[in-house]
Amino acid sequence: MNMTLRRFSSEFSLQLESLRGVSAIVVLFSHCFQAFIAPLDLTLYSWVRLLGQAAVMMFFALSGYLIGTSIQNNIQQNSQFNLSHYIRHRCRRILPPFLFALALTLTLYILAPYFFSSHTHQFQNSFGMMIRTTYSLEWDNFLGSLFFLNGFVTPTLSANAPLWSLSFEVWFYVLAGFLPFLKHSVIAKLSFALVLITLTALNPQFLIYLLVWLTAFASSFGHIQQYVLNHLNSLKLGCLSLAFFIACRDAYHFHMIDQAKIYRGNYFVPFNTLIGLAFVCWLIQLQQKLSYYQPVWVKSASFSYTLYVTHFPLLLFILGCFPQSRAYGLGGAVLALVATMLVLVLLASLMAKLLEPQQRKALSRSMQ
């Protein structure tokens, strides 16, 4: 591995932080759109669903890029890879908001019959394509999510669907922890292969998204950036063009073939793969100052992870408590969407002060 210490410019750091925050808000918007707008108007439904998927792919691209940089700096600072430091840092980052989100999901499940207008776990109204009639919590799925086995051994919690990507993310981290040892350790090679083969057998999509993540990981290395620098524009435009074609096919299939009665998500994987690779190309261009992005609302990065893992159960709880949003037409639905987004962003920013203190400190340093 290249041992050169990787340091980001202040401009690139702010761009990364902004992209992290904006991506979380886009995911929130996608889910709020499904809840409030889709029951009344499905015109843009497939496009908004893919927009939310694209935001998750930005998370994967950012994660691979930053973990690659982190591992390089870990090796440089410690003369060799310090695995315990890597594990501690990942646990401090991932676990507090995640465990809080699971506790929140469980608490809202207990409270639902007391606050829902139906006085049960049932939603009074069906919320279109969210395909949920209840705020449900299955204990096997809860335990599967607790140990990051959702998507592999159990389904992801219905009441906190975004956790599907977090289990993938955690196993990306696990596999990345083996990488510095692969050259010299047979045990590391066997362990890496065993984990990868097992997870891929349980969910083949994992391998596809891992390849996107590893592409971002590899792209954090300076010599690889230099190797692909002259091809980035054509690669990015090619991926974006194909992704747009797939998005058009998705919209056609939803509206013309399925008559907007069911959304199958059949095009998620190819779309996500292409858009994820395009994002990786763009990140390299941003770092090399071959492209530009004006950072917006950089401070949103300080609560982006908390927002991502808490917004969905809170959204479902709001839907159960206030089912009247559709009674006032599309205008009322838009107001409900905006109000809900504002409330959930505010709650996440408050919760993150306790759950993500290290992230807030890092953000403060990057903004100085």
7 CB burial (10 A radius; 0-12, 13-18, 19+): exposed
Q: 141: which strand partners?
A: none
Q: Do the domain assignments include residue 120? A: yes
* Alpha-carbon dihedral angle through residues 321, 30, 126, 262, given to the nearest 10 degrees: -170
Per the structure, how many domains does the chain have?
A: 1
What's the pLDDT tens digit per position in 244-258?
999 999 999 998 888
Band the pLDDT of 131: cuts 50, 70, 90: low
Does the structure show a pLDDT above 60 at 362?
A: no
Contact, 31 vs 127, CB < 8 A? no
AA letter at 43: T
Q: Are 277 and 235 in contact (CB under 8 A)?
A: yes
Q: What is the pLDDT of residue 247?
A: 97
Non-local CB neighbours of 172 within 8 Å, separated by 6+ positions: 60, 63, 64, 67, 210, 213
Residue 230 belongs to a domain: yes
At position 333, the amino acid (one-letter code) is A
Residue-level pLDDT at 130: 64
pLDDT at 238: 98
Task: Judge whether residue 127 has pLDDT over 80.
Answer: no
With a cut of 90, say whether residue 1 has pLDDT above it.
no
C-beta atoms surrounding 249 within 10 Å: 15
> Under 8 Å CB-to-CB from 310, ≥6 apart: which residues?
97, 100, 101, 104, 344, 347, 348, 351
User: Is 323 inside any structural domain?
Assistant: yes
Residue 1 in any domain: the answer is no
| Contact yes or no for 122/134 (Cβ under 8 A) | yes
CB of 360 within 8 A of CB of 352? yes
Q: Cβ of 187: how many Cβ atoms within 10 Å?
A: 9
pLDDT surpassing 90 at residue 265: no
Is residue 361 situated within a structural domain?
yes
Write down the pLDDT at residue 263: 85
In a domain, 4, yes or no: no
Per-residue pLDDT band for 87 (boundaries 50, 70, 90) equals: very high
Extract the tokens encoding 233.
Answer: 């524009």
Does the pTM exceed 0.75? yes
The CA-based dihedral angle spanning residues 179, 206, 316, 105, taken in that order and rounded to the nearest 10 degrees: -50
Work out the percent of the chain whose per-residue pLDDT is above 90. Answer: 85
**CA pair distance 159, 139, nearest whole angstrom:** 12
**Structure token pair of residue 20:** 């992290």
Helix (H, G, I), strand (E, B) or coil at 28: helix
Alpha helices in 33-138 (DSSP H): 45-78, 83-115
Task: Residue 93: give the domain boundaries.
Answer: 10-367
* 24-52 confidence digits (pLDDT tens): 999 999 999 999 999 889 999 999 999 99
Query: Which DSSP symbol is given to 295?
Result: -
- The secondary structure of residue 131, as a DSSP letter, is -
pLDDT digits (tens, 9 = 90+) for 277-313: 999 999 999 999 999 999 999 999 999 999 999 999 9
Residue 5, domain member (yes or no): no
28 Cβ contact list (under 8 Å, min separation 6) = 307, 311, 341, 344, 345
Instruction: State how far the Cα of 368 lies from the Cα of 358, in Å rounded to an integer.
Output: 16
2 found inside a domain? no
Tokens found for residue 176: 């990345």
Q: Got the DSSP string for 143-171?
A: HHHHTT-BTTTBPPPGGGTTHHHHHHHHH
- Token reading at 326: 């559709």
